A and B are shown apart, each in its own frame.
Chain A
C-alpha cells in the first residue's frame, strides 16, 4: 500500500450543492445549498434524520447523482461519474454472490487489468488484515453479516481509492457486531490513511469514529452544524463513557432531535410528546381511549 502517497491526496470538496428531483408538481429539493469538505486522511461523518438527503450527498460524491447546482470535486477534479478513485461500501453488503470472497476483493484490481498472481497476493494481504483469510474460497452466502461487511470494506480499499465512502455500512448489523466493526474500520483507516466520508444516523458511531461530524437538517437537507471531535486517538470503547464524549453526544443529540421531529411532520413536537395541552373535550383520557 502506498500509504505515504495516500496522505497527500483525497481532498473532497462539495460546494453550493443542491439536488432536486422533477415531479409532476414541480421540482422537489432533496438537498439545498450544502457545503462539506474532507481533508486528506480525515475521517468525516454526516449524520441527520432519515430522509435528510445525507445518502444523496454521498451518492453525488460517488458519482451516481449529478448535482442540480454546485460542484463536487476530489483533489480539485470535478466528479464526472463513478470510478475506483472513490471506493464505496453499501448498507446491503452488495457482494457479488457468484464470486468467492477473494474474487470479490480482487474485482477492482481485475478491472484495473492487474495480473492474476498480483491480485491474489493483494487480496490475501487484505483478507488477512480483516481476519478472513480462511474464508477466501467461500461464497458470500455462507458468511455472517459482519464478515460480509468486512469483505465489502476491503473490497473497496483494494484498489487504493483516494476516498472511502460508506453509506450506513453497519446499519444492518446487531449492536455487538457493530461495535467490533467500528473498531476494525478505525484500525484499517489508521493504517491506510485514506480519507473517509461516513454516513450514519447513529450519533455514537459518528462521534466514536470521526474527526469531524456534519449534522444535516430535514428535507430539504442542508448542513446545520459542523462539529469537531477532539477525542484523542487511538480511541477505546471505554471512551464512550467519558464526560467529553457524553457532552458531544448531548450536543449532537439535541441538534438531531429537533430535525427528526421536523422530519416526522408538524404534528409531533415536544408538547405532543409529553402529552400536554391535548384537548380532551371534557372527557378523561381513559374515556377517550
Chain B
C-alpha cells in the first residue's frame, strides 16, 4: 500500500523536472518566492497606510509638545496676566494619579460617575430613539410633541439643577435626571432628522416587494435612520458628561465632578488637573465605545 502510493507519486517530480528548463528559459513566469512576496506585502501596506502612520506620529508629537509646554510653564511659574503660579506640573499630576489609583475613594468617584452616565444615557436612548422614530413616521405625533421639545431644548441642563433637586426625592436621582436631559434632546432630534432623510424610493421599493407597514418600519425606516441615531448618541454622550459634571459640582457628594470641585476647596491643586484629565478620558472613551458599537451594528457603512 505504502510502496504503491510512492510509485503513484513518483511520476510528478519527473514531469516537474521536464518543465523546469522551460520556466528557466522564461524567467518572467517564475512565481515569486514567498520571502520577497512577503516583503512586497509590507511595502504595499506601508504605501497604503503611510498617511495613517504620519497622523499617529504627528498626533504623538503634538501631545508631547503640549506636555512639554505645560511642564515649562508650571516649573518656571510663568505669570503674564495668566498665572501658572499655582497650576500643578505634569509630574505632580502623575504623582497624584498613582496615589489616586491606590485609593478606593477615587475609584468609587469614577465608578459612580460612570454609573450615573450609564443610567441617564441609557434611559435617554431608550426613550428618545423610539419617540424620534414614531414622530418621524406619524406627522400628528410630531406636530404634538415637537413644540414642547423645542421649548425645553434650549434650556441648558445646568439650569435644570434647582428644579431637578425639587422634583426628585434623592440627590442621586436628580443628578441622573440632569444627565438624562442632557443626552435626550440630541438623540431625539438626530433620530427625527434621520427619519426625514429616508429615501422615499426605498419605501416604495419595499412596498412593491410586498412589505406592509410594520415591515417597512423595521426593514427600511429603522436601518436608514440608524446612522443618524448614532450621530445623536455620540453628541448626546458628550452633552451627558457636560451635564453630569455640572450637576455633580453643584449638588453632588460623590462623583468625578465633585472630586474636582472638592480638590479646589481643599487646596489640592494637582487633583483638579487629575479630575479634569479623568473627565476628558472618560468622555473620549465613552464616545469611542458608541462609535465601535455603531460600526458593528452597521457593517454597510463606509467608515
Cβ-defined contact, B208 with A156, below 8 A: yes
A64 to B200, CA, bound (A): 12
Q: Is B215 engaged at the interface, CB distance under 8 Å to the other chain?
A: yes
Cβ-defined contact, B204 with A88, below 8 A: yes
Q: Is A54 engaged at the interface, CB distance under 8 Å to the other chain?
A: no
- A94-B205 in contact given A111-B215, A139-B300, A141-B302 (Cβ < 8 Å): yes
- A88-B215 in contact given A94-B202, A96-B220 (Cβ < 8 Å): no
Q: Which of B201, B204, B210, B302 contacts A111 (CB 8 A)?
A: B210
Q: Please name all residues of chain A whose beta carbon is closer than 8 Å to the beta carbon of B215 when the two chains form the complex.
A: 111
- A98-B209 in contact given A64-B204, A88-B204, A111-B215 (Cβ < 8 Å): no
- State which of A6-14, A70-78, A79-87 sits at the interface with chain B: A79-87
Cβ-defined contact, B202 with A84, below 8 A: no
Cβ-defined contact, B207 with A82, below 8 A: yes
Q: Is B278 engaged at the interface, CB distance under 8 Å to the other chain?
A: no
Q: Is B91 engaged at the interface, CB distance under 8 Å to the other chain?
A: no
Q: Which of A82, A98, A141 contacts B204 (CB 8 A)?
A: A82
Cβ-defined contact, A62 with B208, below 8 A: yes
Q: Is A108 engaged at the interface, CB distance under 8 Å to the other chain?
A: yes
Q: Please name all residues of chain B whose beta carbon is closer than 8 Å to the beta carbon of A281 when the two chains form the complex.
A: none
Q: Is A245 engaged at the interface, CB distance under 8 Å to the other chain?
A: no
A62 to B226, CA, bound (A): 29
Q: Min CB distance, B276 to chain A, in Å?
A: 40
Q: Please name all residues of chain B whose beta carbon is closer than 8 Å to the beta carbon of A97 when the two chains form the complex.
A: 300
Q: Which of B201, B206, B211 contacts A92 (CB 8 A)?
A: B201
* Interface secondary structure of B, over-half rule: helix
Q: Is B73 engaged at the interface, CB distance under 8 Å to the other chain?
A: no
Residue ID in chain A nearest B201 by CB atoms: A94
Cβ-defined contact, A88 with B205, below 8 A: yes
Q: Please name all residues of chain B whose beta carbon is closer than 8 Å to the beta carbon of A95 when the two chains form the complex.
A: 205
- A90-B201 in contact given A96-B219, A98-B298 (Cβ < 8 Å): yes
CB-contacts of B189-239 with A (<8 A)? 199, 201-202, 204-212, 215, 219-220, 223-224, 226
Residue ID in chain A nearest B224 by CB atoms: A98
Cβ-defined contact, A84 with B208, below 8 A: yes
- A111-B209 in contact given A96-B220, A98-B223 (Cβ < 8 Å): yes
Q: Please name all residues of chain B whose beta carbon is closer than 8 Å to the beta carbon of A194 when the two chains form the complex.
A: none
A141 to B301, CA, bound (A): 9
Cβ-defined contact, B302 with A87, below 8 A: no
Q: Please name all residues of chain B whose beta carbon is closer than 8 Å to the beta carbon of A90 when the two chains form the complex.
A: 201, 204-205
Q: Please name all residues of chain B whose beta carbon is closer than 8 Å to the beta carbon of A111 when the two chains form the complex.
A: 206, 209-212, 215
Q: Please name all residues of chain A whose beta carbon is closer than 8 Å to the beta carbon of B212 when the two chains form the complex.
A: 111
Q: Is A159 engaged at the interface, CB distance under 8 Å to the other chain?
A: yes
Q: Min CB distance, B107 to chain A, in Å?
A: 41
Q: Min CB distance, A102 to chain B, in Å?
A: 13
Cβ-defined contact, B300 with A159, below 8 A: no
- A88-B224 in contact given A96-B202, A139-B300, A141-B300 (Cβ < 8 Å): no
Q: Min CB distance, B222 to chain A, in Å?
A: 9
Q: Min CB distance, B30 to chain A, in Å?
A: 29
Q: Is A155 engaged at the interface, CB distance under 8 Å to the other chain?
A: yes
A90 to B207, CA, bound (A): 13
Q: Which of A92, A141, A155 contacts B209 (CB 8 A)?
A: A155
Residue ID in chain B nearest A62 by CB atoms: B208
Q: Is A112 engaged at the interface, CB distance under 8 Å to the other chain?
A: yes
Cβ-defined contact, B300 with A84, below 8 A: no
Cβ-defined contact, B209 with A94, below 8 A: no
Cβ-defined contact, B210 with A86, below 8 A: no
Q: Please name all residues of chain B whose beta carbon is closer than 8 Å to the beta carbon of A98 when the two chains form the complex.
A: 223-224, 226, 298, 300
Q: Is A107 engaged at the interface, CB distance under 8 Å to the other chain?
A: yes
Cβ-defined contact, B298 with A88, below 8 A: no
Q: Min CB distance, B138 to chain A, in Å?
A: 19
Most A CB contacts (10 A, CB to CB) among B206, B208, B212 go to: B208
CB-contacts of A81-127 with B (<8 A)? 81-84, 86-88, 90, 92, 94-99, 107-108, 111-112
Of the A-B pairs whose beta carbons lie under 8 Å apart in the complex, a sample of 14, sorted by A's number, is A63-B207, A83-B207, A84-B209, A88-B205, A88-B208, A92-B201, A95-B205, A96-B205, A98-B226, A107-B209, A108-B209, A111-B212, A141-B302, A156-B208
